[in-house]
Amino acid sequence: MVAPSKWWRRPVRNAAVYELRLIGTSVRIDRKALMGGNMVVIFGAGATKACGGPLTNEILPDVFSLRQDLEREGYLAKLEEFLVENFHLPPEPMRQSHHYPPLPLVLSLVDTALDRGDAFAQCWTPSDLRVVRESLEYAIFALLEVRLRQIEHHYGRFLEALYETQPRAATLISVNYDIIPDNELAHLADRRQLAALPDYRCDIATDTYRRIQKFGTLLKLHGSLNWLYCDQAKGTARETTAVLDVRAETFL
Distance of CA 132 to the CA centre of its chain: 21
Residue 88: φ, ψ to 5°:
55, 40
Q: What residues does each domain of the chain span? A: 8-53+151-251, 56-148
DSSP string computed for 2-29: PPPS--EEEEETTTTEEEEEETTEEEEE
Query: Is residue 86 within 8 Å of 130, Cβ to Cβ?
Result: no
Q: Considering the entire predicted model, what is its pTM?
A: 0.64
Please name which of 220, 206, 211, 214 lies closest in space to residue 251, comparing C-alpha atoms: 206
C-beta atoms surrounding 58 within 10 Å? 17
- What letters, b where the CB count within 10 A reaches 16 and e where it falls short, cover 152-181? eebbbbbbbbbbebbeebbbbbbebbbbbb
Amino acid at 64: F
Per-residue pLDDT of the chain (252 residues; tens, 9 = 90+): 333 334 334 443 433 333 444 433 444 445 555 555 567 888 887 788 777 778 888 999 999 999 999 998 899 999 999 999 999 999 888 899 999 999 989 999 999 999 999 999 878 999 999 999 999 989 988 888 888 777 777 788 888 887 877 646 678 899 887 888 888 888 888 888 988 888 998 877 778 888 889 988 899 988 787 775 443 434 333 333 333 443 444 443
